[in-house]
A and B are shown apart, each in its own frame.
Chain A
Amino acid sequence: AQSVTQLDSHVSVSEGTPVLLRCNYSSSYSPSLFWYVQHPNKGLQLLLKYTSAATLVKGINGFEAEFKKSETSFHLTKPSAHMSDAAEYFCVVSPSSNTGKLIFGQGTTLQVKP
């Protein structure tokens, strides 16, 4: 069975410092992995996706994630946090390549302090 575990429920950083949101996945085969962001009272927006191409994936707003099969990890990073990055972030795995069905992690709340 496929699953994702987000290792931190809450991360707090200062504006201008690096962001690291951790995610580990479990999958019986090469998965498709995603990061989605949800701003308060908004829908979910796709940040980036990994689909077995390059292991370092670049997304929107300066975010990127690296797929590490040996560590079963897909951590999200950003070199310098902005106040507008404050939101809920979800690591997501797709258990099937032909349905678009997603399994969500529990989410990590990112707080950015001035």
Chain B
Amino acid sequence: DAGVIQSPRHEVTEMGQEVTLRCKPISGHNSLFWYRQTMMRGLELLIYFNNNVPIDDSGMPEDRFSAKMPNASFSTLKIQPSEPRDSAVYFCASSLGGRQPFFGQGTRLTVV
């Protein structure tokens, strides 16, 4: 299995632009998580899905952030409009049946 696949690996964008991060979970996994990692706040859970349904989005910082999971093999995290403080590494992870999640390599986002 290729593991959790995230794209792009790096993204540099200008403030105010829309940013879309993509994630392909491990085939067969039924839970998907989006985390954000910053120096100041460490790793924070933004949102997680179970069987494609958003279960807990209490970690999503603002209405500028939205996440979708249209099917079991794809999810997106969108930021519109982006701001410099959104600069971070965004990780996607997937798991099966409550077992430990497996993480992707992350997307390093820089908003200038």
Name the A residues within 8 Å of B60 (CB-CB): none
Interface pair A99/B42, CB less than 8 Å apart: no
Name the B residues within 8 Å of A102 (CB-CB): 33, 45, 100-101
Minimum CB–CB distance for B56 against chain A, Å: 7
Docked complex: A60-114 residues within 8 A CB-CB of B: 90, 94, 96-107
Known contacts A43-B104, A43-B106, A100 near B42 by CB under 8 Å: no
Name the B residues within 8 Å of A90 (CB-CB): 43
Known contacts A102-B45, A104-B42, A107-B42, A42 near B105 by CB under 8 Å: yes
What residue in chain A is nearest B43 (Cβ atoms)? Answer: A104
Interface pair A101/B91, CB less than 8 Å apart: no
Minimum CB–CB distance for B33 against chain A, Å: 7
Interface pair B42/A106, CB less than 8 Å apart: yes
Count of B residues near A, CB < 8 Å?
23
Interface pair B105/A100, CB less than 8 Å apart: no
1/0 contact trace for B74-112 toward A, CB 8 Å? 000000000000000001010111111111111000000
Minimum CB–CB distance for A68 against chain B, Å: 21
Interface pair B42/A46, CB less than 8 Å apart: no
Whole-angstrom distance between the alpha carbons of A101 and B104 in the complex? 15
Whole-angstrom distance between the alpha carbons of A18 and B16 in the complex? 49
Minimum CB–CB distance for A44 against chain B, Å: 4
Residues of A within 8 A of B (CB): 32, 34, 36, 42-46, 49, 90, 94, 96-107
Interface pairs (29), CB distance under 8 Å: A34-B100, A42-B105, A43-B103, A43-B104, A45-B103, A46-B100, A46-B102, A90-B43, A94-B98, A94-B100, A97-B98, A98-B98, A99-B50, A99-B55, A99-B98, A100-B31, A100-B98, A100-B100, A101-B33, A101-B48, A102-B33, A102-B45, A102-B101, A104-B42, A104-B43, A105-B42, A106-B42, A107-B42, A107-B43
